[in-house]
Chain A
């Protein structure tokens, strides 16, 4: 079955430390992968996407994600966390192999950065 999984409900990191938010996927065809962030009482904001090419994708707010085909993962990373990064993060994957395919979201990971 095609799916996307975020195995951690919550990730706690001290400010200034590196952070990783994990995502694994299972899709047929070429995976299009996305990360979104949601702040309280706000809609989702696009962070970055992987379509093809370089496995390391850079996005907004200093975030990056590494596509690993053999491990079917697309983990979100940041070298140095900020308190303002505290939010809910969603990984998403396109189902199917056409521009008409819908995307599905993981269940989300709450990132908490302590000062």
Chain B
């Protein structure tokens, strides 16, 4: 399977614990995005990377959230001291941005990680 993969698919944790999610994008894609989706809502942008550089972070991304993409390939999203309000589906997406091009290519999404904070 050459699509975007995410691990784990489901995570149940107790309030106050730290969790980390992993995303592996499509191999040639240089952009990687994280979104959060709650029930009945569309995905909300959290942050994105171009290669290893984190170029934008949403105000939704509190200081308890941190994302990395150290080698410009896979990415991790860590939530520290989880709260019940963090319960959501966390989606990762990737796309290809060609240098010097203004074309905006579509994003391809992974299956998501469903987080439940008890």
Contact = CB atoms under 8 A, between A and B. Distances in A.
A43 interface: yes
Chain B binding surface SS class: loop
Nearest to B105: A99
Nearest to B50: A100
Contact of B104 (A43, A90, A99, A105): A99
B11 to A, nearest CB: 15
A108 B91 contact: no
Nearest to B56: A102
Contacts of B102: 98-99
Interface centre among A102, A104, A108, by most chain B C-beta atoms within 10 angstroms, is: A102
Closest 7 CB pairs of A and B: A105-B42, A43-B109, A44-B109, A43-B111, A46-B106, A32-B104, A105-B43
